Amino acid sequence: MKTNIRIAIVQEGPVYLNLPLSLQKLEILIKEAAAGGAQLIVFGETWLCGYPAWLDYCPDIALWGHEPTKEVFARMHQNGVVVPGPATRQLGELAKSLGVIIGIGLNEVVERGPGNGSIFNAFLLFDSDGKLVTHHRKLMPTFTEKMLYALGDARGLKSAKTSIGRIGGLICWEHFMPLSRQALHNHGEFIHLALWPTVHEMHQVASRQYAFEGRCFVVAVGQLMRVRDIPPELDIPDSLANEPDEWLLNGGSCVVAPDGFYDLQPQFDKEGIIFHDITDLQHPVRERLTLDVSGHYQRPDIFKFEVKR
C-alpha cells in the first residue's frame, strides 16, 4: 500500500506559440520530474503552447479587423494540439514508458467536423499506462478569452480512476462555477488539479474553497510568462516596453489539503519543477466526517442535479 504520493508541478513556461520546441522542452521536463520520483506531473493552463496573457496587456487587440491580432490567432491555431494526434501520442508514450500520470493544459484545435477551425482551452489527463483518461474543454472562456476560444462541453466534466486514486480537473474560472464544482464532487476526487494562468489571491481563495468543499487535495498550478514572451506582432504598452524580464504571470502554484489549509505554500516567482509529497493519504476520509457535499451532507430529496454530457 502506498504511504505517500510525490507530485511534480511544472512551473516553467513553454516556448510560446511554438509547438515543436515546446514538445521538446516538455519531454525534458517530464523525464526530469520522473527521475525525481514524481508519480503525478502537472502543467498549467494552456501550457501547450502558452496562455494568451497578451489579451490583458496589449491595447489594440480588440480593434475590429486588427491584422496583428489575426496573425497571432493564426499562429495559435498553427501551433495548437489535435486530440488525438502526434502530440497526444507523445504524451501517452512518455506516461507509459516512465510510469507516471500527466495532467496538462493546452490549446486544442479541431481540424475537421463540428467546431472545425475552433480553438478550445483544454485539459488532458494521461494515466501511468499511457491511456488518455480525461479530455475536458473549458466550459466558458473568461472575458477577453472569448475572442479566441470556443465554448466547451461536459464530456470531460468528471474524475478518472488512476493508479494513485481518482483525479479530476477544472480550468481557471470554472472553479467559480458552483455546478461545475458539484459535478466533480459527485464524481469523487482524491486529487483535484486546478489549472490557472497564475494563482493570484482570488485564485488561491478558489483553490482552498474547492479543497474544503470537495474534501480532496487540490494541486493548483500557475504559469510563468515574461513581457518578452508577448508575441512580436503586438504593440507592447510603454509601461512594459523597457521591462522585458518583468513577470506577466508569476506562478503561485500550491497544494491545498482537504481541510482547506496549505500542504504546500504558494510558490511565486519560482521557475522550475516543484516537488511535493502527500503523506497523509487518509486526510480526505477524515474530513468527510463533518462535511461531504456528495454524501451525507447532500439532500437529493430536495435538490435535483443533472449534467448533460
Q: Which residues are catalytic?
A: 45, 138, 172
Residue located via cell numbers 495548437: 80
Question: Residue length, the chain?
Answer: 309
Q: Which of 170, 168, 217 is nearest to 188 (CA)?
A: 168
Which H or E run includes 76?
helix 67-78
What is the four-CA torsion angle of 10, 152, 75, 54, rounded to 10 degrees? -70
- CA-only gyration radius of the chain, Å: 19
Q: Which of 43, 62, 187, 57 is nearest to 122 (CA)?
A: 43
241-262 CB burial, b ≥16 within 10 A, e <16: eeeeeeebbbbbbbbbbbbbee
Task: Tell whether the torsion through CA atoms of 198, 200, 202 and 203 is positive or negative.
Answer: positive
Distance CA 275, CA 273 (A): 6
The three three-digit cell numbers of residue 84, written as one number = 488525438
Tally Cβ neighbours within 10 Å of residue 276.
Answer: 20
Distance CA 170, CA 306 (A): 18
Q: Which of 160, 154, 191 is nearest to 174 (CA)?
A: 154
The three three-digit cell numbers of residue 26, written as one number = 516538455
Distance CA 167, CA 159 (A): 5
